[in-house]
Amino acid sequence: MFKRFIALFLSLTVLLTSSNVLFANNKSAVNANGKTVYVDGVEYFVSVDEEFNTIVETVGIENQAKLILGKNGNGFITVNNSDIKGYSINNNDKIGEVKVNELNGQNIDAKIKPLGGKNESVHLKNINDLNSATFNEVGVQSVTAGTIIIGGSLLKALLAAGLAITVAGITVYAVESVIDQVRENRQKFYKAYLRRNNVYIAPKPIPRTQAVTRVASGGKDSDVYTYQQFRARSLVESTGYGVSQVENHRRYRLQPGTFFDHYHPIPRNGSHVFFGTPK
């Protein structure tokens, strides 16, 4: 009964024994529909749907594993394997629940709760937990242990793709992963977060007055994104500060990332107003 399920666990266990992450080199692998990444030799496809659900799924494995993470950081894990239906609450291949409060490359605060066996959940508090040997030590003899292994693997792939991260319990999205929604609301303003040289935005637009206050306040996480350049400049002007020339830090950086044109208030206070698409 466990043979196919255990085989899947064994194939995914290796994902947590190395920190090497290989990104797809071809830029065409990144588009509005998602991104393909390779983590320790296993292929994943990561995408964001119209409802801002982030979907991480294995590719090329017989029993497909999938993580669906909502914009509030809550999600669940499924495995396409009829042998384990008896262990799922709704008899629909759901094997675990996930709550992500923080996942951004430097920090992690997430819980994985298996829905079978003894329901022994694990709390990930350090980014190195995704590669920790403790996952391997629990073995693959139970649904509980296997769910934790699979969940950790899927979170690792999500981080590798860089299309969505979680900040203070809210899932925020790389602009290019939700560009269709952004273009449809080009007059709107969004809270922006600069992480790992990528610009992420919260899914819910904010009023212009709130955007002005955010930029004027300065400091960490005081950034804003809007699609149109003239709106970006006008926003900075409304703070009462001067406005910088258009800047883009791509040419100053050697690290990978997505770099946007943006304005700064003058004098600078640490905030950015990003606009458009990556250059």
What is the pTM (predicted TM-score) of this model?
0.78
List the chain domain ranges: 3-167, 185-275
Radius of gyration of the chain (CA): 20
pLDDT band at 146 (very low <50, low <70, confident <90, very high): low
pLDDT confidence of residue 47: 94
Contacts of 10 (CB under 8 A, 6+ apart): 140
Mean per-residue pLDDT, 220-231? 96
Q: How, if at all, do strands 273-275 and 223-226 pair?
A: parallel
Structure tokens at 29: 């692998």
C-alpha 4/C-alpha 120 separation (Å) is 22
* pLDDT tens by residue, 51-82: 999 999 989 876 688 999 999 999 999 887 54
Residue 88 has pLDDT above 60, yes or no: no
Report whether pLDDT(192) > 50: yes
Other beta carbons within 10 Å of 24: 15
Tell me what pLDDT residue 105 has.
78
Q: What's the pLDDT at 115?
A: 80
The DSSP secondary structure of 29-82, one letter per residue, reads GEETTEEEEEETTEEEEEEE-TT--EEEEEES-SS-EEEEE-TTSEEEEEE--G
Please compute the mean of the pLDDT values over residues 107-121 and round it to a whole number. 80
- State the number of CA atoms in the 13 A half-sphere of 218 facing the CB: 10
Q: Cis omega (within 30 of 0) on the bond before 207?
A: no
